[in-house]
Amino acid sequence: MINGRLTSSIIRPKTILNAATTATTKKPDMVTRFMKNGLVGKICETAAENPVMCQSIFSLAICCGARPVTNMITTKDKKDASYASCHSISSGIMGFVWPLIFATPLAAGVKLIAKNPHKFLKPEVVKKFYPTVGLETINKDGKKIVRVMTNTKGEMLRQNGTKLLTNLEPLKLKGEAEAAEKIEKLTEKLAKVKNEKKKAKILEQIEDFKVKQKEFEAEKEVFEAMNPRLYVDPKNGVIRSRDVFKTENGKFALNSKNEKIGCAIQKPEDKEVLEQVLTGKQQAEINPITEDMEIGNNKEQNIKSIINWVPDILLAPPRAMLTIELIPRLLKLFGMEKQKKNAPKDANQQPQQNNTTFKAASIKMPAFATMKAHSAAAPQKGGV
């Protein structure tokens, strides 16, 4: 993808760290230690912000290094290996130069429009792209004008006043809500284990999770005391509304007790506000994530992907043509240019040779073979 902020296949380290790291981990595993490495984090963040150049550099390394070496080692015919290597190098060079010259500037333009579409597109068009965006009518010079709702920073807002171009990430307590479930599973496992060392290890894990469960329960109690209109989902620690309920296809979603499930509350973007809310020092702002918002957000993500694909689609054909044009030049540079086949000096030479051969064959052909040939050549009557 061209635009890192819209869609990127590169995983951001913060996402992995949130899942891999726990507050009470005594000995982090190898994956956690690797992902907590500062250098890895910087590389991943840089790659996520600049996916075009990142992909081009990897492509250059593979096409101009790894693939030619593999061809030369695995292919017995070194001439064929050399041709294949030239093709690969040509593809790698063009794959690096093309984004550098064309794709990167185009990506910057797409990124600018996608970040502030209300500055370049009409409100009606923006509404089609982003269904949940808020529109408002104002009086300007005696005329009523429809415009996109924005905050003081010029960022687009949803109809409920929340920032538009943000992920609908639910607010969740820091504590480990799954501790109770893990204790139950470990207790079942303990009943089946006979080895004393394994039992001791499982018992130690159970005690650790009991501590985490108490911490979560205390955190839950403080939060609900500060926010009476909200409650904490005991299964996953997600904050939900007591007033606005979750729906699926227009119907209320019910839990195992046949009770309505509240909508999850949107996570605050401000880190300081988030910390105050989670520690029970400040009430959470109630911005429920409704079904309409989820559907609209999915449409918005699809629009982002489509916008992101357009430059790739437009630039792909000329890039392929230039890659093909570069191949013979590289072959010539390495002294492996294919020689053109020499045309026969006399254009009538081949037909004459064929006629002579046919005549000679006719002379040597036995009589019954000649009759058979004439019979096969004659038109036949009838049919199916």
CA separation (Å) from 127 to 1, 138, 309?
24, 17, 20
pLDDT of residue 308: 66
Mean pLDDT along residues 324-341: 68
366 CB burial (10 A radius; 0-12, 13-18, 19+): exposed
Which residues, including other chains, have CB under 8 Å from residue 125's CB and lie 6 or more apart? 117
Structure confidence at residue 115 as a pLDDT band (50, 70, 90): confident
CA separation (Å) from 346 to 40, 138, 339, 355?
69, 85, 21, 15
pLDDT digits (tens, 9 = 90+) for 142-170: 888 899 999 888 888 888 777 776 778 89
pLDDT of residue 27: 60
Contact 89, 97 (CB under 8 A): no
Residue 157, strand partner residues: 163
Higher local confidence (pLDDT), 375 or 143: 143
pLDDT of residue 186: 92
Contact 168, 289 (CB under 8 A): yes
Least confident of 56-65, 309-318, 362-371: 362-371
Mean pLDDT along residues 355-361: 48
- Among 184, 312, 303, 289, residue whose Cα is nearest residue 240: 289
Would the pLDDT of 312 be above 90?
no
- Across the chain, mean pLDDT equals 76
pLDDT of residue 26: 52
Would the pLDDT of 364 be above 90?
no
Least confident of 40-44, 287-291, 356-360: 356-360
pLDDT of residue 305: 73
Tally of helices (H runs) and strands (E runs) in the chain: 14, 7
pLDDT of residue 70: 86
Domain ranges of the chain: 1-115+291-338, 122-166, 179-288
The helix-helix angle for 78-98 and 51-61 (nearest 10°) equals 160
Would the pLDDT of 226 be above 80?
yes
> Collapsing DSSP states into helix, strand and coil, what is residue 10?
coil
Would the pLDDT of 381 be above 50?
no
CA separation (Å) from 302 to 49, 131, 279, 286?
20, 12, 36, 27
Higher local confidence (pLDDT), 301 or 258: 258
Contact 43, 36 (CB under 8 A): no
Mean pLDDT along residues 92-116: 74
- DSSP assigned state of 166: S
Least confident of 104-108, 152-156, 266-270: 104-108
Contact 338, 27 (CB under 8 A): no
Mean pLDDT along residues 207-224: 93
Contact 206, 335 (CB under 8 A): no
Least confident of 108-112, 189-193, 233-237: 108-112
189 CB burial (10 A radius; 0-12, 13-18, 19+): middle
> Collapsing DSSP states into helix, strand and coil, what is residue 266?
strand
Structure confidence at residue 336 as a pLDDT band (50, 70, 90): low
Would the pLDDT of 235 be above 80?
yes
pLDDT digits (tens, 9 = 90+) for 40-84: 777 777 776 666 667 778 778 888 888 888 888 888 887 778 778
Would the pLDDT of 345 be above 80?
no
The H-or-E segment that residue 240 falls in is: strand 239-245
pLDDT of residue 116: 81
pLDDT of residue 222: 93
Would the pLDDT of 374 be above 60?
no
pLDDT of residue 320: 77
pLDDT of residue 300: 75
- Percent with pLDDT over 70 in the chain: 74
pLDDT of residue 14: 46
pLDDT of residue 25: 45
pLDDT of residue 346: 52
